[in-house]
Amino acid sequence: MTDVVMPQLGETVADGTVAKWFKVVGDTVTRGEPLFEVSTDKVDTEIPAPADGVLSIILVAEGATVDVGTVLARIGDGVETVTEPSAPTTLAAPVPASTAPAAAGSTSRAGNDEKLSPVVRRLLAENNLDASQVVGTGPQGRLTRDDVLAAVAAAAVPAPAEETTSQGNAGSLSPVVRRLLAEHNLEAAGIQGTGPQGRLTRKDVEDALANPTSTTSRHDEVRIPFTKVRRLTAAHMVRSKATSPHTLMVKEVDFERVEHVRRTLGAAFKAREGYSLTYLPFVAAATVQALREFPHLNASVGDDELVVHGHVNLGIAVDLDTDGLVVPVLHDADDMSVRTLAAAIRDRALRAREKKLAVTDMERGTFTISNPGPYGTLLTGAIINQPQVAILATDGVSRKPVVVTDIFGGESIAIHSVGLVALTFDHRAIDGGYAARFLARLNDIIQTRDWTAGL
């Protein structure tokens, strides 16, 4: 028997939340494959199975937060009998097994005992059912846990002949579905069931939670609990506003030189690298260059002192849809070319959204860029990523008429790509004049640098 424990994800991490189990009790697991997902105050990450075998018991439910080292589950040769844990202070209540959604259209019978999982065998025995009495909806007609529970519920509370949907048919709801409905204050009648005979499945409820506007609840509101990342993002933002006197300064920037490079080299870049050349790596490169000349912005506030960092570890804020924000870090970004920055930014963003970031990917940031610009925003006053002293927001770039001056001082109107960059800074660390000079230098670099180099 192998214990599955809450891992130590970073030196300062004392606990973690079990965000999701990828296996259910009775499933075969292979050493190294993702077993569960952990959310901490640093990162969300998938944890691999420590051994081969059968997931015998789950001791900590999804959503529970426990200390590092707590036993979460056990891997053995078969399913354990659920008993009271010997150490209730460290083990959460055992979690009943659940199954993945059944394969669509599969309605054959599964009477072959060799195909039955340990969980299904136990449920059949407890409810005095024979496998031949239950319709299997799993792959190749295999019986699932939900199939047995549905048969038990149907035998206990026969549905009216005309009742073929989930509306009003509470007797056909599985325990898992009932729990989800109760936890999220939802009515079964407001959700369309996709299971056999219109039965409501776990996936139906989860889909309704993900798309609350599609749920016709009888209540006037839908309550969506904050995820771990959402709660941590909120706490971090509140702490930042309470710590730093935030000041916002904005500069209009002419991106025409960058736009010219994107038009002329963008197609070749995409063909070679496999993704588009956006404005962000250019802004990142210009920011890193400007920070070398204005190092007090690449700093943090210590105990009555300003700690100026020797290297630029550039954080890039990544939106996780409604789940919150994470800020993976490009370490030693001052040594990277535009091409390298583009690749690093893409890599961190993809891994963040796939929840594959390591703790080290989130550490030691010295300056952060937030990039809502792809959504066409006009002006963003971002909140400082503590303990840093500043954050730069890059908003939408659009074609606008501008006044241009030729080498003889003559002026004319031209159409250029123009956008705003907004610097939020900690007024304890620097004053407005320093911030204004930084933005002016950033604008100068974007307009004059030879951007073809390094691409």
From the number of C-beta atoms within 10 Å of its C-beta (0-12, 13-18, 19+), residue 364 rates as exposed
Encoding tokens for residue 92?
């959460």
Residue 369's beta-bridge partner residues? 316, 392
Encoding tokens for residue 455?
């691409």
Q: How many CB atoms lie within 10 A of CB 356?
A: 14
Residue 362 near residue 327 (C-beta atoms within 8 A) = yes
* DSSP structure string for 142-183: ---HHHHHHHHHHHHSPPPTT--SSTT-GGG--HHHHHHHHH
Compute, in degrees rounded to 10, the torsion defined by CA atoms 226, 230, 231, 234: -130
Q: Is 220 a catalytic residue?
A: no
249 backbone dihedrals φ, ψ, rounded to 5°: -135, 135
Catalytic residue (one of 236, 431, 444, 450): 431
Q: How far apart are the first and last CA of the chain?
A: 54
Residue 327 near residue 317 (C-beta atoms within 8 A) = yes
Residue 397's beta-bridge partner residues? 419
The DSSP call for residue 139 is G
* DSSP structure string for 354-405: TT---GGGGS---EEEE--GGGT-S---PPP-TTBSEEEEEEEEEEEEEEEE
Taking the C-alpha atoms of residue 258 and residue 379, their distance in angstroms, rounded to an integer, is 20
Residue 191 near residue 169 (C-beta atoms within 8 A) = no
Catalytic residue (one of 184, 427, 444, 450): 427
Taking the C-alpha atoms of residue 366 and residue 348, their distance in angstroms, rounded to an integer, is 16
Q: Is 431 a catalytic residue?
A: yes
- Could you list the active site residues? 427, 431
